Structure 1
Amino acid sequence: MELRQLVSFDAVVRHGGFGRAAEHLHIAQPAVSAHIRRLEDELGVRLLARTTRRVGLTEAGELFLARVRRVLTELETARDEAADLAAVLRGEVVLGTAPVLGGLDLAAALAAFAARHPGVLLTVRSAPVAGLLADLDVGEVDLVLGPLDDDLPRHQTATPLVEDDLVLLTPPGHRLARSARIDLADLRDDPFVCLPPDSGLRRALDAAAADAGFRADVPLEAPTPADVRAFVGAGLGVALLAASTVRDAGPAVGVHEVRPAPAHPPIGLVHRGERHLSPAARTLHAHLVQTAG
């Protein structure tokens, strides 16, 4: 039994005759007839009931057709998967990363991906998450890795990876430096250092301060979380910052739990939906999900 015989049998049934099946398969009609004849001889049953006007299925043909189409569907899936694998080996993917990535070791994850898929051209672009999400919409990045805020538009799909928490930073010598936990309301008169107003961190600070009954004074905006820590270390104010960003080496600061504990969005991946993901991007997405897990 040969694959071309199965394909010809399916085509004859699907198109209602030998002539139209031959046209669809771009082969001669006698070749289609020969395929069906050899198939029936091998099976020892008649699959098709031929009349002068139409070709129909026998009872055996109906049973056999269901199996044939299942085989052809599996074969088509296998071909698609093989094509995807080939595309991954030759693909390109642009990953946008926000400065805050929780406990995810991105360098190690990307090194493992590059070793497994050396033919993929991987580009990493670091920027604030708001700008990266805008780039995602116009196709300049394939995936965005960063905090997942609640206000993502419906056409963007989010996959949470790791959790993170917000902690309070105080400069050396601050009056509350010895406190393990600090009520945010006790800092209503302190200047805060924070990221720009369009950042998730700034929205978190504003919401936490409002819950504590005051409006945070932010005279100094920092471009990155590392700069926030540096400014606090220099005595320029206090700050809320993701706990993951404080674990790295940097200027000496006090690190405190804060009450009430402000919410920090999980770190995750964002894309525009499966139809917008190339095979390379889908593979990187799956790799990062597996790495985080």
Structure 2
Amino acid sequence: MKLTHFRDLLAVVQTGSLRAASRQLNIAQPVITRSIRELENELGQALLERHSKGVSLTPVGERFVRRIEGVQAEVRRAKEEVVQWSGEHVGEVSVGLSPLTAMSLLPSTIATFSKRYPKAVTKITQTLFKPVEQKLAEGLMDFWVGSIQKEHLSQRFAVDILMPHNRRVAARPGHPLGGARNLEELVGAKWVRPPLNDRIAESDLEAMFRQRGLPVPEVSVESPSMLIMIMTVANTDLLTFLPEQMFDLMPIAGFCQPLEAMSPFPSDPICIVQRNGLPLTPLAEKLSDLIRKSANNYMLGLQGS
């Protein structure tokens, strides 16, 4: 089993056909066909189904491709790491950021990083943790930054807390419950919130009501997008929780506002999460360090305000 076998299979999967893979790799189509046949013979399983419009993966092929994507990422990372340790800062860094960290920590971080390492390619995905958990576990993403509770993560991941943060109940301007002072006054309201993690039975929202002996709130809309949450609140009577910093970072007062009479609610801390036992490349480590510095400066700014 050779790395060229993996390269050829991934090219066929990415392009959708042997002919397109041949053009992408600049390799004769019969060579790619022979490469994949050798791989299937060694595994004793069919990886591709051929049909008139191209090819598709068999169920076994889907699982195998997930594995070799991780292998390819490790090979790329290993090559880049050798080059980076020699002092040449080239290669890719792939990170995931929650909406809050993308707005609060990324601006100063990426400005400094791009200036210091102009040959580096930074791949940034704005996302909650759950959609990229498998990518992190397989080494396809270097690290993720966002609000998360360490106890909810498997031991596959290393977690480093960067800073605490609070959330506020938010509503559209002029909302009938805009003057509410506590959760008791919000019983019966409907809410919009992010989707739940598969391992978590309830969100912080439900937990807070339940802990106070209140009826569990009704969730009418779920979305991982903070923009969708804000626009939903702006155009309905639904309530939501938003990071307290969001009201300073975004000019959203015309769309939604915190319920000023209610105190902020402590939330899960902002953390850096990466795969346990997998060291970051020098470039990824430098980006991680800049994010830590940005978080520290952010906290100092809050203390000084």
Same fold at TM > 0.5:
yes
| Higher mean displacement: 97-106 or 121-130 | 97-106
Q: For 1:204, give the aligned amino acid.
A: D
Could you list the structure 1 runs, at least 4 aligned residues long, displaced by more than 6 angstroms after superposition: none
Q: Does 1:117 align with 2:120?
A: no
Task: Flag the 1:101–1:256 CA change in 2: closer, same or farther, 3 A.
Answer: same
> Alignment identity in percent?
20
Partner of residue 161, structure 2: 160
Contact 1:162 1:267 in 2 (8 A): yes
CA deviation map 1:3-51 (0-9, x unaligned): xxxxxxxxxxxxxxxxxxxxxxxxxxxxxxxxxxxxxxxxxxxxxxxxx
Q: For 2:148, give the aligned amino acid.
A: L
RMSD: 2.7
2-structure distance, mates of 1:141, 1:102: 16
Q: Does 1:280 align with 2:279?
A: no
- Give the Å deviation of 1:137: 0.4
Q: For 1:148, give the aligned amino acid.
A: I
Q: Give 3-state SS (helix, strand or coil) of 1:121's partner.
A: strand
Task: Flag the 1:226–1:258 CA change in 2: closer, same or farther, 3 A.
Answer: farther
Partner of residue 204, structure 1: 204
Matched residue pairs, number? 210
CA deviation map 1:210-230 (0-9, x unaligned): 123220101122341222121
Q: For 1:211, give the aligned amino acid.
A: Q
1-structure distance, mates of 2:137, 2:271: 17
Partner of residue 170, structure 1: 171
1-structure distance, mates of 2:287, 2:277: 13
Kindly report which structure 2 residues correspond to 1:38-77, keeping only aligned pairs within 5 A, or say none: none
- Give the Å deviation of 1:292: 1.9
Kindly report which structure 2 residues correspond to 1:249-288, keeping only aligned pairs within 5 A, or say none: 249-250=251-252, 251-256=254-259, 262-273=265-276, 275-288=278-291
Q: For 1:118, give the aligned amino acid.
A: P
Contact 1:170 1:177 in 2 (8 A): yes
Task: Flag the 1:253–1:125 CA change in 2: closer, same or farther, 3 A.
Answer: closer
Q: Does 1:147 align with 2:147?
A: yes
The TM-score with structure 2 as length reference comes to 0.61
Task: Flag the 1:245–1:260 CA change in 2: closer, same or farther, 3 A.
Answer: closer
The TM-score with structure 1 as length reference comes to 0.64
Task: Flag the 1:253–1:260 CA change in 2: closer, same or farther, 3 A.
Answer: closer
Q: Does 1:95 align with 2:98?
A: no
2-structure distance, mates of 1:257, 1:209: 19
Q: For 2:188, give the aligned amino acid.
A: D
Q: For 2:247, give the aligned amino acid.
A: V
Unmatched tracts of structure 1, length 5 or more: 1-80
Task: Flag the 1:88–1:208 CA change in 2: closer, same or farther, 3 A.
Answer: farther
Q: For 1:217, give the aligned amino acid.
A: E
Partner of residue 190, structure 2: 191
Partner of residue 226, structure 2: 225
Q: Does 1:133 align with 2:136?
A: no
Unmatched tracts of structure 2, length 5 or more: 1-80, 297-305
- Give the Å deviation of 1:244: 2.1
Q: Give 3-state SS (helix, strand or coil) of 1:141's partner.
A: coil
